[in-house]
Amino acid sequence: MRESAFVKANISKWEKFESLIKATEQKDPDELADLFIQLTDDLAYARTNYPKADVTTYLNNLSTKVHLYIYRNKKEQRNRFANFWKLELPEIFWNHRKEFGYSLLIFLLSSVIGAFSASQDQNFVRLILGDEYVNMTLRNIELGEPLGVYAKMDQFPMFLYITFNNIRVSFIAFAAGILSSVFTGFLLFRNGVMLGSFQYFFFQKGLLLTSLLTIWLHGTIEIISIVMAGGAGIILGNSWVFPGTYSRLESLKKGALIGAKVVLGLVPLFITAGFIESYVTRLFDMPNFLKALIILLSLAFMVWYIILYPRKLFKNEVHTTT
């Protein structure tokens, strides 16, 4: 086709496109998409048959304008933010339930090891928790405030400190996976041993129930979230150790992205746990039934969000790695 004939056959369509992007009223997205496809087809034809002609330059400029217009005015999906926690994060929990399960298993076993070691060696708790903390707790027990450490700071500074520290710990547990899952596993093991020996210490003092009803007010969400961060680290570590059909670098990129999403998704949970620890845990006179209710509701939510809800959504679907 001669250039003049090509221009004559399509000029009305191109002018319509120009008028559309200049108009101020709302555009029909389907019409824009259809015209843009036609425009790119025309540009490809012109580049092939009239590479140095004015029409090719014109179509190239028009395509650039349209492309910029579409992407400049393209709105983010309105529910994108909500869908991250509603769909994307639960899908990761489901697709990588084995890694999160390994993280939980390591943490539980190390907690048992910590409690058992404390029962066999009276100096073990001091070795793990430090003399300063143990001596402070012993003084608090003598004063009738065994868990007075939770009222040591003002609420808001404590909230900021606790929340930041928990997020930092979760990020370290995830980032350790870059060295391999073994390093994340070690961090989980260390934290589990600390928790087990800590709880046994209060058991020895006849204060196990008191410690459980106080510590787990915030600890239910906090500890489970740390375990999930450990799962993110295992995902990262396994991604490059066991790349499967991907190249090692490509698998590492995918694992890093998935793990980062998990750590990001845990931030609201750490904020919630930090708030409870700073403002609620210190209410030592709160009735035990109310403490137990908060703990059970927290546990129910975490089990539902991490296990039951993802299972309901994705059990019967076949998914690739998110």
For the entire predicted model, the pTM comes to 0.75
Q: How many CB atoms lie within 10 A of CB 97?
A: 16
How far CA 260 is from CA of 19, 139, 257, in Å, comes to 44, 41, 5
Q: What is the pLDDT of residue 52?
A: 81
pLDDT tens digits, the chain, 322 residues: what are they? 788 888 888 888 788 777 776 765 555 666 666 777 777 888 888 888 888 888 888 888 877 777 666 665 554 445 677 889 999 999 999 999 999 999 999 999 999 999 999 999 989 999 999 999 999 999 999 988 899 889 888 999 999 999 999 999 999 999 999 998 999 999 999 999 999 999 999 999 999 999 999 999 999 999 999 999 999 999 999 999 998 877 889 899 999 999 999 999 999 999 999 999 999 999 999 999 999 999 999 999 999 999 999 999 888 654 444 4
Q: Which of 283, 142, 307 is nearest to 231 (CA)?
A: 307
DSSP 74: P
| Alpha helices (H) in the chain, listed in sequence order | 3-22, 29-49, 54-73, 80-83, 89-95, 97-120, 124-129, 131-142, 155-175, 181-204, 208-241, 248-279, 288-303, 309-314
Q: What is the pLDDT of residue 319?
A: 47
CA distance 151 to 141: 14
Tell me the CB-side half-sphere exposure of residue 319, using CA atoms within 13 A.
19
Q: Which two tokens stand for residue 243?
A: 């790349």
Q: What is the pLDDT of residue 286?
A: 94
